[in-house]
Amino acid sequence: MVKNITNLSRSGLYDWMLQRVSAIILAAYTVFIGGFLLTTPDLGYEQWSGLFEQTWVRIFTLLTLLSIAAHSWIGMWTITTDYLNSRALGGKSVLIRFPVQLICFVAVFSYVVWGIQILWGQ
């Protein structure tokens, strides 16, 4: 019987893979931005905004945002189903778990829309 209907892809295997692919993208972006900040002392507005005016940086940033969305959703889903379950909270655990997952979803969705607005709405 199917009992878990809140996971991202309806397939544990696909969630597993998506978690790793998004992790690699997030790691690459972390190294990219970290490397830029470390190698650019006295960073000014011109240089910084110039970086984010480049199309490939915007694409990379949006890809990162979408990776954050998938990665954090799968992660928060895993955590909520591991700890906010009926073993920990009893038979009505869904009444706590589902609202928490809903908050996570709204946050994830807001991050993506907000990020797009920052990147293209200036």
Minimum Å gap between C-beta 1 and another protein is 6
Among 9, 59, 107, 109, binds another protein (CB under 8 A): 107
Contact 96, 84 (CB under 8 A): yes
Long-range pairs for 109-116 at CB < 8 Å and ≥24 separation?
A: 109/69, 111/65, 111/68, 111/69, 112/65, 112/66, 112/69, 115/61, 115/62, 115/65, 116/62, 116/65
Among 9, 40, 54, 78, binds another protein (CB under 8 A): 78
Among 11, 20, 35, 95, binds another protein (CB under 8 A): 20
Contact 81, 97 (CB under 8 A): yes
Q: Which two tokens stand for residue 81?
A: 């189903």
Among 57, 62, 72, 93, binds another protein (CB under 8 A): 72
95 versus 103: smaller Cβ distance to another protein? 103
Residues at the interface with another protein (CB under 8 A): 1, 3-4, 20, 23-24, 27, 30, 38, 45, 48-49, 52, 68, 72, 75-76, 78-79, 81-82, 85-87, 104, 107, 111, 114-115, 118, 122
